[in-house]
Amino acid sequence: MLLLCTQVSEGEINMYGLKIEHSFDSAHFLKGYEGKCANIHGHRWKVEVYITSKELIDDGQQRAMIIDFKDLKKDVKNIIDYYDHSLIIEVNSLNPKTKECLLDEGFRIIEVEFRPTAESFSKYFYDIIREKGYELEKVVVYETPNNCAFYYE
């Protein structure tokens, strides 16, 4: 596949970017938090993914694109949908008996190695999406319509 280079002069970097977003619904709580977020509560988490490229594809179906939106959306959806309609808990943050009871009831629990804040999720998704080969500007995670955290390098 040929790439069209858009870097025009030394020191000057011209970048293209794409942004897509996808949402998932899940419950969580913050262990050790003093306030309402210590309680199990739900969010519609919105994840915004910003990718960048110095170049565009220069032939075929994706000519003049970084990547087809549909392909990027598919990859991001595959990563994020795993968390949809689950209870996300930090490892060891629930009494084992409570966890067992919830599992016995058939509830879907996903354990994560981090405190499930918007900040942690933004880095978590950033790392996974980058592992897929994307050049990322940042990943933004909205916990509520008004509050978001982001991660970039």
Ligand X SMILES: Nc1nc2c(c(=O)[nH]1)N=C([C@H](O)[C@H](O)COP(=O)(O)OP(=O)(O)OP(=O)(O)O)CN2
Is residue 31 part of the contact set for ligand X (CB under 6 A)? Answer: no
Task: Tell me how far, at minimum, the Cβ of 42 lies from ligand X, in Å.
Answer: 9
Tell me if residue 148 is catalytic: no
Q: Which of 87, 118, 136, 139 binds ligand X (CB under 6 A)?
A: 118
30 binds ligand X (CB under 6 A): yes
- Of these residues, 22, 48, 90, 143, which one is catalytic? 143
Query: Quick one: 10 or 34, whose CB is closer to ligand X?
Result: 34
Which of 41, 44, 74, 132 is the binder for ligand X (CB under 6 A)? 41
Among candidate residues 5, 85, 101, 135, the one labeled active-site is 85
- Looking at this protein, which amino acid is placed at residue 75? D
Q: What is the DSSP string of 64-105?
A: T-SS-HHHHHHHHHHHHGGGTTEEEEETT-S-HHHHHHHHHT
Is 84 within 8 Å of 26 (Cβ atoms)? yes
The answer to whether 110 and 83 are in contact (CB under 8 A) is yes
Which residues share a beta bridge with 19? Answer: 50
Q: Do the annotations mark residue 22 as ligand-binding?
A: no
Backbone angles phi, psi at 49, to 5 degrees: -115, 125
On whether 43 is known to bind a ligand per the annotation, the reply is yes
Kindly list the catalytic residues. 37, 85, 143
Under the rule (CB under 6 A), what is the footprint of ligand X? 30, 37, 41, 117-119, 143-144, 147, 149
